[in-house]
Structure 1
Amino acid sequence: MSRLTNHLIVISFDCLSSLDFPMLEQLPHFNDFIQNGAYCRYVQTIYPSVTYPCHTTIVTGNYPKNHGIVNNTFLQPGRTSPDWYWHRKHVNGTTLYDEAKKAGMKTAALLWPVTAGADIDYNMPEIFANRKWHHQIPVSLTNGSILYQLDMNRRFGHFRNGLSQPELDDFVLESTVHTIKSKKPHLLLIHFVDLDSQRHYHGFSSEEAKEAVKRHDKRLGRIVQAVKEAGIYDDTTIAILGDHSALDESKAIKLNVLFKKYQLIEVDMKKRLKNWRAFCKSCDGSAYIYLKDPSDKQTKEVVNELLENLLVDEANGVEKIFNQEEATAMGADENCSFMVEARHGFYFNEDIDGSVIHHITEKDVRAKRYTHACHGYSPEKEDYTTLLMLAGKGIRQHTVVPSMHLIDEGPTFARLLGLSLGHTDGKVIEEFFSLSPS
């Protein structure tokens, strides 16, 4: 298969929404892509629409049920901070970076989710210390490219302030610019989180979120300039994308409080989870309901009745209930017993204490116990699409694709590099391409 480009740079601006498009048109670097490249303003995300499943879909072309990353975090009832799906080993099948490496291409990734331990030449994975005895530096180093990460930290570590934004994205930007100019990778995956963080803690349309979009425009400009300075501009394609949108919320639904009331969850003397028959695993705007014993028909009937009762009153915040077959048909985890979708203004929380419906306060948000906006909702929610922009080698200019799905991005990126991801849930969007292969 012929290559349409020699270098592909994929930039994920986490939580970039279709609703941001009017603002992007007013910003110089984003507008340059809109005017001179190709784009799809309405990209339907996946279910659940949370970051790790989304980014794995982007590089595999598959739904969560097939690639295996069904949530951000593992089902670990009782653990205060569950582990995340950080590692490549959890992904089923191949990925864009695997196929690029097999083809002899130089690969790089900066904080791209689910790449810890991946076979990537220059890899700074998104992973954090999640145990009291862990330290961030060795955790990062041992799960990525050691010498590369040491070099980036030596050069640009002063930009960073832990995991705080926008400083973390500033560090990622400087590392990206240096990587482009010094390594010239054939495939570069970059994940920026500034906008997502601002929306979570300040609201979807907050001034903080708008300022993050403006910062992203400047970051995009720096990346384009680095490509030019590296002397590979004419041989490079740049893809800009979001993984999901977000919705404001003011109430948290704590189904595990309800399950505890009906003795489906047991706690010890210190009110810590001791045992469970049913557990609500949050995906923010949606949630999985798991049974410890999936064949326990009695528990399943009790849970189903509890959920159906919640539907009666909109104040309970539950909009839809999906059974296992329906959730799987939407691409979600086939091992869940139910999946529930929150109404506008609500999201799901895993706490087992307090009231079933918690009204979120500013104090809650400042303490980062709750948020002002989140994602994870059904891709069928209104005004909930994300977007994709492409420009550079192999891309047909002044092209608008009316709509597509997140699952289509991986196969499309693979085609640009002359690669194949094999059988995928998504398809190649040929309309983006010019007809002159390299």
Structure 2
Amino acid sequence: MNTKKRRMLILSLDAVGSRDIEKAKNLPGFSRFFEDASRCMSVNSVYPSITYPAHTTIVTGRYPCHHGVVNNTKIQPGRKSPDWYWQRRYIRGTTLYDEAMAHGMTTAALLWPVTARSRITYNVPEIFANRPWTNQILTSLRNGTPLYQFRLNQKFGHLRNGIREPELDNFTHASLLYTLEKYRPDLTLVHFTDVDSQKHDYGTESEEAWAAMERHSHRLMEIQDTLERLEMSEDTIFVLLGDHSQKDVSRIICLNALFLEKGWISIRRGKIANWRVYSKGCDGSAYIYIRDKELYRPVYELLKKLRDEKIWGIEAFYTGKNAARLGADGACAFMVEAGDGYFFRDDTETFTRPTRAGEHKGCHGYRPEKTEYQTFFGIKGPGVRKNQVAAKMSLADEGPTLAALLGLDLGMTDGNVIDTFLEKE
């Protein structure tokens, strides 16, 4: 395949599902993009279907059990705010941007997960200050490209309000337009979180979530205008995708409260001091880790009882071996799936309770095959056939397909190249 002079721009719209795109297809920015784009409107995310594992799969073509980013946050029970899998070092194997740089391409990333301290040419990593002795500016500078970030903050820092939306996406959007014009990277990765934030706070069908889709439409229109003005449209493969969907929730499950009652967890000064069994939440699912092998059977019987009683929000549970077959962390003892309306937290306060004011109204993390829980993938540009439709895809198919269009190779992947989208030689 002739890949000469090809650039690629990948926009990830966090928590935008297939249903959202179907509803938004007449909004100007989306309508313009999909006019001649090839697409799949039934893309299964990864398990657990949360942001960091999903975005790592997009750029590796591998499932979490293989690329190593198995959750958003690390197992740190004693901390109120655990660290996230921010840094590139957590990814096993190569990535799309690593291969691009190995072939002499310039790269840019704006708030793309798990890129901190990577070798990306122009990098604003998604990371926040999680220690009392530092601040957001220093944390970002240490983990990304210092001079590039300094310039962006000088020009567009006034648009930000911490990590609040839509201000954060407004900053990201302005930074993207500037980056395209000044640096013209060969590969650009952008992560927008506006819809995800609104769905978490207000629910999946809320006015606030729809307003975020309208803002995305406006951003899309400006991006497409910019590509045309810079005469980059003809040589840019433009990719628009989602990482997962969301479901509405109204109740919380805290398995660690039960483990505390059983004596499997100990508390000191209000914090978990020690544990033999621990539930690490992924919103719609949860990992169960066991340090004491003698407790494997009691935990199994407890989970089976909760599932079979059908009143606690536990829909299913899987052994660690079966979790790995689903793409999740095989190091867990069990993985637990929440039923409709429920999600998991790591608290030890109360086993299950209704959500309170200020807590999530929408969540993800569930099995990706659930009904009306799929996300989407759209692509257009050089080397891409127009208006082709793939009936189904996995998020793991995206990396190999994108690599093929750039003449790159991700090596052994769990996904496959979607030949339907590629022009023939």
Aligning the two structures, in what range does the TM-score lie when normalised by the shorter sequence? over 0.9
* Worse-matched range after superposition: 169-178 or 17-26: 17-26
Residue in structure 2 matched with residue 169 of structure 1 by the alignment: 169
1:97 counterpart = 2:97: yes
Residue in structure 1 matched with residue 274 of structure 2 by the alignment: 275
Distance 1:317 1:5, change over 3 A: farther
1:338 counterpart = 2:334: yes
* Worse-matched range after superposition: 20-29 or 414-423: 20-29
1:351 counterpart = 2:347: yes
- For the 8 Å contact 2:390–2:420, the answer to whether it is kept is yes
* Paired amino acid for 2:284: G
* Paired amino acid for 2:327: G
- For the 8 Å contact 2:238–2:380, the answer to whether it is kept is yes
- Residue 62 of structure 1, CA deviation: 0.1
Residue in structure 1 matched with residue 82 of structure 2 by the alignment: 82
Normalising by structure 2, what TM-score?
0.98
- Residue 324 of structure 1, CA deviation: 1.0
Q: 1:430 aligns with which of 391, 398, 419?
A: 419
- For the 8 Å contact 1:4–1:416, the answer to whether it is kept is no
Residue in structure 2 matched with residue 404 of structure 1 by the alignment: 393
- For the 8 Å contact 2:254–2:347, the answer to whether it is kept is yes
* Paired amino acid for 1:166: P
- For the 8 Å contact 2:73–2:85, the answer to whether it is kept is yes
- For the 8 Å contact 1:408–1:429, the answer to whether it is kept is yes
- For the 8 Å contact 2:240–2:378, the answer to whether it is kept is yes
1:313 counterpart = 2:306: no
Q: Deviations over 1:215-238 (max 9, x none)?
A: 001111111111122221111111
Residue in structure 1 matched with residue 290 of structure 2 by the alignment: 291
* Paired amino acid for 2:238: I
* Paired amino acid for 2:221: G
Residue in structure 1 matched with residue 318 of structure 2 by the alignment: 322
- Residue 292 of structure 1, CA deviation: 2.4
Q: Deviations over 1:134-182 (max 9, x none)?
A: 2100100011100000000001111111111000000000000000011
Distance 1:148 1:385, change over 3 A: same
Q: 1:389 aligns with which of 367, 370, 378?
A: 378
- For the 8 Å contact 1:184–1:230, the answer to whether it is kept is no
Residue in structure 2 matched with residue 378 of structure 1 by the alignment: 367
- Whole-Å Cα distance in 1 between the matches of residues 5 and 264 of structure 2? 55
- Residue 5 of structure 1, CA deviation: 6.1
Q: How does 1:72-151 map to 2 (within 5 A)?
A: 72-151=72-151
- Whole-Å Cα distance in 1 between the matches of residues 406 and 367 of structure 2? 31
- Whole-Å Cα distance in 2 between the matches of residues 4 and 346 of structure 1? 49
* Paired amino acid for 1:377: Y
- Whole-Å Cα distance in 2 between the matches of residues 434 and 119 of structure 1? 31
- Whole-Å Cα distance in 1 between the matches of residues 78 and 363 of structure 2? 23
- For the 8 Å contact 1:256–1:280, the answer to whether it is kept is yes
Q: What's the secondary structure of 1:94's corresponding residue?
A: coil
Q: Is there any run of 5+ residues in structure 1 with no aligned partner, and where?
A: none
* Paired amino acid for 1:393: P
- Whole-Å Cα distance in 1 between the matches of residues 5 and 412 of structure 2? 22
Q: What's the secondary structure of 1:328's corresponding residue?
A: helix
Alignment RMSD (CA, Å): 1.1
- Residue 282 of structure 1, CA deviation: 0.2
Q: How does 1:196-345 map to 2 (within 5 A)?
A: 196-268=196-268, 270-293=269-292, 296=293, 298-345=294-341
- Residue 2 of structure 1, CA deviation: 3.7
- Whole-Å Cα distance in 1 between the matches of residues 333 and 51 of structure 2? 22
* Paired amino acid for 1:286: S
1:66 counterpart = 2:55: no
- For the 8 Å contact 1:4–1:415, the answer to whether it is kept is no
Residue in structure 2 matched with residue 47 of structure 1 by the alignment: 47
- Whole-Å Cα distance in 1 between the matches of residues 363 and 113 of structure 2? 18
> Size of the alignment, in residue pairs?
425
- Whole-Å Cα distance in 2 between the matches of residues 292 and 186 of structure 1? 46
- Whole-Å Cα distance in 1 between the matches of residues 50 and 178 of structure 2? 29
Residue in structure 1 matched with residue 406 of structure 2 by the alignment: 417
- For the 8 Å contact 1:181–1:229, the answer to whether it is kept is no
- Whole-Å Cα distance in 2 between the matches of residues 187 and 180 of structure 1? 10
* Worse-matched range after superposition: 303-312 or 274-283: 303-312
Q: Is there any run of 5+ residues in structure 2 with no aligned partner, and where?
A: none
Residue in structure 1 matched with residue 156 of structure 2 by the alignment: 156
